[in-house]
Every structure is written in structure tokens, then in C-alpha cells.
Amino acid sequence: MNVVLFGPPGAGKGTQAALLHEHLGLAHFSTGEEFRRHIASESALGQRIRSIVESGELVPDDIVLEVVERALDDPMYARGVVFDGFPRTLEQARSLDHMLSTRGRSIGIVLTIEVPEDELVRRMLQRGRSDDTEQVIRERLRVYEQRTAPVLDYYAQQGKLRRIAGDAPIEDVHRAIVLAIESLTTKEKLSNHS
Ligand code: AMP
């Protein structure tokens, strides 16, 4: 089972992905975390990524896709992944489908976590990451609306999109996500038996 956790920055994707890892055993793959590791390594690529991330823009698709493709061939991610913060562009979504299908895998469900904008800004200011200044936060929300939100239609057309109310206690959001995933796996089992 491969799951995409979707939603604007600050929606709680990372927190929810960690809970899915803990409770359902799905591997957690965060492109943002991968990039923060590159930045910490202070390599030439890391320095380039740092300036992009700190401006609130998106890392170019070719760099993102290379990181993802490498992860897909890592045995750690072979038995099911929660993608957190990826895909963020239509190109990434299309490439992900292609990379998975050549490996006999696919995305089972896309859960979009919905949170009002004021609450997103409040949460991001609170977590205090170095790319979480108010100006950068506003830019990231703008980039989300412009480049990432259109990916929702792509998954809606495939019938894979489920909406999760994210303005609620962490455990409630977690429960809603688990229910959505379980209802899908039940449906799959039923259709496999028919
Ligand atoms: P996140 O931890 O998901 O909030 O990501 C932090 C930053 O990393 C984002 O603001 C982007 O600059 C970059 N980033 C993470 N994932 C992606 C992606 N899939 N495509 C492009 N840039 C990304």
C-alpha cells in the first residue's frame, strides 16, 4: 500500500506520516527531510537546495525525482510508503505514477489534510524551523496554491482522493486517516475475492 499525504505546509503531514509509520508500519518518506539532510551535509547540492528552501520556492523537479527514484529502490521502502510532501507538482505526480508502475506498484490513496490558512500560519510560526519566517511562510502558501493544489485534480480524476478535516486534535485526524486507509484495503480484499 502506497499512500500520499497531501496538503499545504503546516497541515500536519509529517506528524500524521510518523503516526502511520508507528501504527500501520508504513515507511515514512519525506522529501523535505531528505533536503534538510542534504543541506546539513553542506555539499554543493545541499547549498543550492538551501537557498531554494529558504526562499519558500520548490526544489526543481529533476532533483526531487532523482531523490525519490533512489528511495523507491531502497528495500526499506519496498513494502509500502507514506509520501509526505511529495508530489508537489503535476510533473512530479505523473512521474511518480510512471516510476511506480514500472516497478509493479501504484498509489492506493491520496489523503488531503484541510486546514484554514490562519491556522496554518499559526502552526508554522510555532514550530520555528529556519524556513518558517512569516515572509517565507506566505511565499510557501502562495506556491502551494499555484503549483501544488492543481495536483489534487489529477488524483481526483483517478478516484483516489479523500479529504481529511485537519483542524482537529492530532489523534482525531489520525483516526480519520486510518479509517480511510482501512476502508480502501477492505474494498480491495472484496474485489480480489470476486
Ligand atoms: P516540507 O518539509 O515538506 O515542508 O519541505 C520543506 C521545503 O523543501 C519546501 O518548502 C520546498 O522548498 C522543499 N521541498 C520539499 N518537498 C518538495 C517537493 N516534492 N518538490 C519541491 N520542493 C520540495
**Whether CATH 3.40.50.300 fits 2-182:** yes
Task: Return per-residue pLDDT of the chain as tens, 194 residues.
Answer: 899 999 999 999 999 999 999 999 999 999 999 999 999 999 999 999 999 999 999 999 999 999 999 999 999 999 899 999 999 999 999 999 999 999 999 999 999 999 999 999 999 999 888 889 999 999 999 999 999 999 999 999 999 999 999 999 999 999 999 999 999 878 777 787 75
| Angle value at C-alpha 112, between 94 and 97, nearest 5 degrees | 15
Evaluate: CB of 83 within 6 angstroms of ligand 1.
Answer: no
108 closest CA partner among 188, 13, 26, 30: 188
Domain locations along the chain: 2-182
Residue 30 in 3-state DSSP?
A: strand
32 CA → ligand 1 middle, Å: 5
Cell for 49?
Answer: 537546495
Inter-residue contact 111 to 164 (CB < 8 Å): yes
Whole-structure pTM value: 0.95
Cell for 193?
Answer: 475475492
Report pLDDT for 157. Answer: 98
**Number of the ligand 1 atom closest to the C-alpha atom of 55:** 12
Which residue has a Cα nearest atom 12 of ligand 1?
53
